[in-house]
Every structure is written in structure tokens, then in C-alpha cells.
Structure 1
Amino acid sequence: MGDRSLSSAWLAAWVCRVSEALRAMTDDFERRRGYPPGINHVRPADHDDQATAHTLARVDLAPADLVTLYTGIGDVTWADVGNGYFIDPARDVLLRLEEYGAVDLGGHQQARGLVIGSNGGGLSYVAGPGGAVHRTRTASLDEPELDKVADGLRQFLELLEKSPMRFIANGEPGYL
């Protein structure tokens, strides 16, 4: 694995860092915002999540780092960081693939990707077979226009990690 790939150790450290930031964010959330916080956590993968991650590994479109992600993380729900950030459980990724198929990433090679999550503004995150993460420009996945937001899942998680920190500092989650 390259130094930009996900490892279970790197992922565990990431979970610790973002969980600490989310706790700091929610500690005085109600006092600052006037209403109680929603769900803001990274849920560890349970046995069923891990089994689903192994099923996902057999999907040609699933990059190895996505399988590593879902072996360690069940899902990400950050309801109160800006409009929200969500990484769906692996079972939802597989169900969406079964029901709607893969997302056309465009380009000369007609690459296709898997929807892995969304933000609270209706935009979806799509992981390509090479690991790059794209974000839709609109809520539609029928003929999506996509922007690459990260070269790989590790970079995507690093960018995502900055969102609660920015939100704590100035109320803005950033561009992701």
C-alpha cells in the first residue's frame, strides 16, 4: 500500500481525531445554536458491516480503499457540520448499485463509480474504480455533472476532517 492509501491504523487514528472534534463541537452546541445537536458521529463497523465490505470487495468498481474504509467504519453521520456530511453504510452502496446501477463519471474511458455518501445540500459523493472521489454539481444522478474533490479516499477523509474544525472555529464547514 502506498502512503496515500488507507490502512486500518490510519483509519483508526482518523476516527479518534474526528470523534474528538465532534465532541468539542457538540459540547456547547445547544447553548450556541439554540437547539440540541443531531447525530454527529463515526459509527464503527460491526460484523454485518464487515461482511458487507467483503461483498463489496467483489464488485469490480469498488476501489480497495473503499473496502478498507467499510471494514473499519459502518457509516459517518455529521448532521450539524454545515448542512451535514454523510458516508453511507456499505449495504446502502450495494443496494443503490443494484437498484440504479453505477454512476457515469464521464471522460474518454467511460468510467463508472459508486455513490458512497452525500452532503446535506443534496450533492452526492461518488468513488471511482481508481479511488478518486467526485461530487455531483446538482442533486440529480441521472446525467450528473461531477467535480473531482479528492484523488483518493484518504485525501477525501483528510478534507472531510477539516470540516468540523472549521465549523467550530467560524461556523463554516468549507467547500466539500
Structure 2
Amino acid sequence: MDDLDLVGWRESVEASMASLLVGFQDRMGYPPSDNHLGEPAPADDVEALAVALDGRLPDSLGRFYASVGEVHLPDFWNALFITAPSRMLADIRADEVPRRITGAYDMDVLAFGDDGGGARFLLGIPEGGPVFKAPLAATVGGLYETNTEGFRRLADDLTGFLRLVERELHQWATQGSPPSFF
């Protein structure tokens, strides 16, 4: 992925989550959930996803899955999830996620994660960007209208989004600053 060191990204995110979880129950009044970054996704799952997308799986997401199979951070603000390829494939087959956006932007997208509160993270395909946050709204036949209140562009590409997550998680864990993208 461009110039993003995924091993370093993983270490940074895991260190920030470890810091955040120190004294979590005392601060929040409830115990932390299972927060983790997954092991590399099985190559067969990534290939099946690429086939379902007619070969339009962005290279950046394929490389991400080769290092980090999923992101499961229910205690990062509202929550942050990057969906495992097998689950993403099931969502696509069930026609439960946006596959195209129209309005201010007009492009095919892949719903690759969510914020735990109903909003999805969408990645432009096949280019691998931009990354959008799409609030919960009606998706009809895989089509999502970008004029929905709260729809916004978060990053130019997956690398930019992952850097945003890393930076915002670190600031929240060390300074208590709420993430800007929730």
C-alpha cells in the first residue's frame, strides 16, 4: 500500500488500544469488549471477494487483507470495524450493502467497514479511493444517494483512511480527544 508499513500500523494501533484499555472499566463503568486486529485473511477468501467484484478488488485492500484480516475495535469511540473478506462477500451476496453511490459522487464502491452505529465506510472501486463515511440510509438495489445528511469523504484512499484511524485512535487513547470522523 503506497508507503504505509502495515506491520508498523498494526503495532501502533495495538499499542494505542492497549493504552486506551488501561483503567477502561473505571472510566467507562463497564468492562472492555474484545478489541483485536485479525491475522492475515485466508488467500481463498480474498480471491473469492475479488471474483465477486469481477476482479475490481483494489490492490490496496488486497494487500491490507494479506497483513490484517479484519479490524475489530468495539471500544474505539462508538466502534470501528473493517470487515473480514468472508463477511464482506456474504454481505454482497445478500445485497445488504451499497455497491454504487450517486449524487455529489458517482462511482462503484465497496462497503469495507462500519462505525458500529450504522454508518458504513465505503471505498471507491476499482481505483481504491476515495474513502467515504455513509450514514445509515436506505440502499435500494445497491444504490446509495450521497446527498444523505452526514455523508462525507474521509480520505483520498485506503492508506489515508488507515492513517486517519491510527492518528485519531492515538489521540483519543492519550489525550481523550474524540475522533473527528465519528
Range into which the TM-score falls when normalised by the shorter chain: 0.7 to 0.9
Number of matched residues? 169
Equivalent-residue separation in structure 2 for 1:144 and 1:38 (angstroms)? 33
Residue 170 of structure 1 pairs with residue 176 of structure 2: yes
Residue 114 of structure 1 pairs with residue 110 of structure 2: yes
Equivalent-residue separation in structure 1 for 2:104 and 2:110 (angstroms)? 18
Equivalent-residue separation in structure 2 for 1:108 and 1:163 (angstroms)? 27
Q: Percent identity?
A: 26
Residue pairs, 1:21-100, within 5 angstroms: 21-46=16-41, 49-58=42-51, 59=53, 60-100=55-95
Residue pairs, 1:90-169, within 5 angstroms: 90-100=85-95, 103-106=99-102, 110-129=106-125, 130-132=127-129, 133-142=131-140, 143-145=144-146, 146-168=151-173, 169=175
TM-score by length of 1: 0.84
From the superposition, tell whether residues 41 and 80 of structure 1 become closer, same or farther in structure 2 (CA, over 3 Å). Answer: same
- Tell me, what secondary structure is at the counterpart of 1:74? coil
Equivalent-residue separation in structure 2 for 1:42 and 1:2 (angstroms)? 21
From the superposition, tell whether residues 139 and 166 of structure 1 become closer, same or farther in structure 2 (CA, over 3 Å). Answer: farther
Equivalent AA in structure 1 for residue 65 of structure 2: Y
Does the CA contact (< 8 Å) of 1:61 and 1:113 recur in 2?
no
Equivalent-residue separation in structure 1 for 2:12 and 2:66 (angstroms)? 18
TM-score by length of 2: 0.82
Equivalent-residue separation in structure 2 for 1:164 and 1:72 (angstroms)? 19
The structure with more helix, counted as a fraction of residues:
1
Does the CA contact (< 8 Å) of 1:124 and 1:136 recur in 2?
yes
Q: CA RMSD in A?
A: 2.2
Unaligned runs of 5+ residues in structure 2 are none
Measure how far apart 1:12 and its partner are: 1.2
Moved over 4 A (4+): 107-110
Equivalent-residue separation in structure 2 for 1:172 and 1:2 (angstroms)? 28
Equivalent-residue separation in structure 2 for 1:140 and 1:43 (angstroms)? 30
Equivalent-residue separation in structure 2 for 1:103 and 1:155 (angstroms)? 21
Equivalent AA in structure 1 for residue 134 of structure 2: T
